[in-house]
Structure 1
Amino acid sequence: MLTSRVLTKVAIVVIFTSLARPLYAQETGGIRSVSAMGLEQSEQSANNYMIDFTNQDNRHLWRVSNDNVMGGISKGAVVLTSKKTRFSGTISLENNGGFSAVFHKVDVIDADLTQLSLDIAGDGQRYQVRVIANHRKGSFGEERIHYFHEFDTQENKRQTLTFNLIDFQATFRGRKIDNAPALSSEDIEEIGFLFKKNSEDDFTLDLFSATFSN
């Protein structure tokens, strides 16, 4: 029979054994998956930062921004499955509408990452990938600035597309701006996708991952 003193020692060992479990749930090829304590399910190493759009635990990190903010009635949404995130909807031109967008929050990204690679499958139409940066200083003060890059998809074909961050165009409240601060990976707070068209149409874009690298 165990004495109360022995039971106390056993309990202490169990507690410290439990606390010794690592914060990072898995580590593969030097890339750590930040999955403990409710942190964003992303992967970051010294050379890249990967967002896994197939992770259903990240539903709360998405938000939709349709043209209803300007009075439009276009519809867009994201649906997550175990294999992908699908961004789809219908564009309407009523009330000066014509676009739909979705955005995904990101954790702190290392500085000096200069490229963005997307693993996507589209419908043959043109989209924009957008990042929202908060520079926190300079002529734009605390304002968050959108930077975008257009890309064409191939119908029913999975693609990997790579962009240089330096080639992203800054836009502020719908206007292109040429004197915006240079886009730096460490300032990025969200990544998103936008579809716009001057005619009514449906759209579908499947998202698998986004990777910032250098």
Structure 2
Amino acid sequence: MEIKRLWETINYFEIFPWLNCLTNIFNLSEKSNTKPNVPMNLILIIPSQSNLAQQTINYLREINLNFTTINNIEKIEISDLERVTNIICFSENNNQSLFDLINNNLKPEETLLFDFHNPSQEIKNLWGAVDDVVMGGVSQSSVKMGDRNIIFTGMVSTANNGGFASVRTKNFSQPWDLSNYQGIRLKVRGDGKRYKFISRCEGKWDGLSYCYSFDTDGNDNIIEIKFNDLIPVFRAKTVPEADKFDSSQMYSMQLMLSKFEYDGSYNPTFEAGNFALEIESITAYGAENVPQIILMGNSNQWENINLHSSFLRTYAEMPEDLNL
């Protein structure tokens, strides 16, 4: 049974890519495990029929930047603006409905990374269990779909020298650049236990990780984790000589319940047995000048717009003038 769980973990996270290739060739799994495409730093274009709009789109393709287009402003929803760092508008459009949506809903200092209010199968395909079975233990965990949240839950055991359970994302297809932000905000409801948030700024499976421990009290908790407070750790031992977390290269996220804190010390609230941590959302917070609203064309064409002063507003007459 434990060998089967170990194999599932190795296969799910593509720890040994050549094993995953063999699995797919011989149809040993139900589906191929591809890296999730969760883009960050998107550029949103509200296109028009003008030559300037087409030149701008061609320019972004040439310099290989991620962008998406939305043709009908009236059908834009707030979810379309998640992870968007630049919004490019053209004066030929009626942009005020877009600006009203931005003014009334967007908070320029934060970006919603994971919204678990409407859990989907995509979430389960992205987050998988990494328990102490990888080192001979018997703890087990999973991500369950809750009512407007997800639940990291399971059973942690110290048998066979084990003592941790966790859920982790697969590596993002491209690492996230969160260098404009100060840190990560978790909205959770815990069970009185002390958990860890873990991230990585390299794509290795068993490389250096960056950790932050946080307590829960059975109520709704907002946990703010500054990037500068993340502790470099390798296999539960701190690495003081390591560099600070590089927030421009976030490869993955992980939540863990562990018997150990760091360097052999124990988690002060640890108890073996069942546990449950409800997660409502994960947000990057503390940004400056995000999103940037770029108004294409002569600035005189934009004199009468109603756009809140908290959003960075810039002008560009030609695509080459874009500061992205």
TM-score interval (norm. to shorter): 0.7 to 0.9
**Deviations, residues 154-194 of structure 1 (Å, cap 9, x unaligned):** 11x11111121101111113321011121122211111110
Shift, 1:22, TM fit: 5.0
8 Å CA contact 2:184, 2:285 repeated in 1: yes
The aligned amino acid for 2:216 is T
**Deviations, residues 132-159 of structure 1 (Å, cap 9, x unaligned):** 221x8xxxx997421111111011x111
2:258 aligns with 196
**1:208–1:129 CA distance, 2 compared to 1 (3 A):** same
The aligned amino acid for 1:161 is I
**1:204–1:126 CA distance, 2 compared to 1 (3 A):** same
**1:96–1:115 CA distance, 2 compared to 1 (3 A):** same
**Deviations, residues 96-125 of structure 1 (Å, cap 9, x unaligned):** 001001113556233232221110000011
Q: State the distance in 2 between where 1:118 and 1:202 align.
A: 22
1:153 paired to 2:221: no
2:116 aligns with 53
Shift, 1:75, TM fit: 1.1
1:178 aligns with 240
8 Å CA contact 1:86, 1:205 repeated in 2: yes
Q: State the distance in 2 between where 1:151 and 1:47 align.
A: 23
The aligned amino acid for 1:112 is N
- Say which SS state the counterpart of residue 58 (structure 1) adopts: helix
8 Å CA contact 2:144, 2:150 repeated in 1: yes
8 Å CA contact 1:123, 1:204 repeated in 2: yes
Percent identical residues: 23
Q: State the distance in 2 between where 1:154 and 1:82 align.
A: 20
Q: State the distance in 1 between where 2:135 and 2:205 align.
A: 23
Q: How many aligned positions are there?
A: 181
1:113 paired to 2:185: no
**1:53–1:165 CA distance, 2 compared to 1 (3 A):** same
Larger radius of gyration: 2
**1:96–1:59 CA distance, 2 compared to 1 (3 A):** same
1:89 paired to 2:157: no
**1:142–1:130 CA distance, 2 compared to 1 (3 A):** closer
Q: State the distance in 1 between where 2:225 and 2:70 align.
A: 38
RMSD over equivalenced CA pairs, Å: 3.2
8 Å CA contact 1:27, 1:33 repeated in 2: no
Shift, 1:45, TM fit: 8.5
Counting strand residues as a fraction of each chain, which structure ranks higher? 1
- Normalising by structure 2, we get a TM-score of 0.49
Higher relative contact order (CA 8 A, sep 6+): 1
8 Å CA contact 1:32, 1:45 repeated in 2: no
- Say which SS state the counterpart of residue 185 (structure 1) adopts: coil
1:99 aligns with 164
Q: State the distance in 1 between where 2:205 and 2:255 align.
A: 23
8 Å CA contact 1:118, 1:209 repeated in 2: yes
Q: Match for 1:33 among 61, 78, 82?
A: 82
Task: Point out where structure 2 has 5 or more consecutive residues left out of the alignment.
Answer: 1-68, 84-105, 260-269, 287-324
